[in-house]
């Protein structure tokens, strides 16, 4: 079992749908991350939240909208996605994002997203 919980595990949606991915951790971590991973590729960073504030947006299209309602929750709102957005979306958390050595990240098992 992982300490970072992601729901749903699988999601199939049409290009006109609106859906949300959810991520939850109760380790007291103050940094949370969204990654996108295509098959047989490494995870690609999308967003970083530090103390509930967006600190990094890796030029992600606006059809992906992150939200951090509190220190334990991270959402990714999806709207008007394209077939090429089909991928595994991974959430991760770490103790902090600070200057100096970064902390190890704890990953959830991801949401496998398919866009029809």
Partner 1 sequence: SQQGEEDPQALSIQEGENATMNCSYKTSINNLQWYRQNSGRGLVHLILIRSNEREKHSGRLRVTLDTSKKSSSLLITASRAADTASYFCATASNAGKSTFGDGTTLTVKP
Q: How far is the CB of 53 from partner 1 (least distance, A)?
A: 12
Quick check: 24 and 111 in contact, CB under 8 A? no
Two tokens, residue 99:
């200057």
Told to check if 23 binds partner 1 by CB under 8 A, we report no
Over the window 62 to 101, marking each residue x when it contacts partner 1 by CB under 8 A and - when it does not, the resulting string is ----------------------------x-x----xxxxx
Quick check: 80 and 63 in contact, CB under 8 A? yes
Q: Of 13-21, 38-46, 62-70, 77-85, which segment contacts partner 1 by CB under 8 A?
A: 38-46
Q: Find the angle CA(60)-CA(64)-CA(68) to the nearest 5 degrees.
A: 100
Q: Give the distance from CA 18 to its chain's centroid.
A: 16
Binding site for partner 1 (CB under 8 A): 2, 4, 31, 33, 40-45, 48, 50, 55-56, 58, 90, 92, 97-102, 104-110
């Amino acid at each position: 079992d992982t300490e970072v919980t992601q729901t749903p595990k699988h999601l199939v949606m049409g290009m006109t749908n609106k859906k949300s991915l959810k991520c939850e951790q109760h380790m007291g971590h103050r940094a949370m991350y969204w990654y996108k991973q295509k098959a047989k590729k490494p995870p690609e960073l999308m967003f970083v939240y530090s103390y509930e504030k967006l600190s990094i947006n890796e030029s992600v299209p606006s059809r992906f909208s992150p939200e951090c309602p509190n220190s334990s929750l991270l959402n990714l709102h999806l709207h008007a996605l394209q077939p090429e957005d089909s991928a595994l979306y991974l959430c991760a958390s770490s103790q902090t994002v600070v200057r100096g050595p970064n902390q190890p990240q704890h990953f959830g098992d991801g949401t496998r997203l398919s866009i029809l």
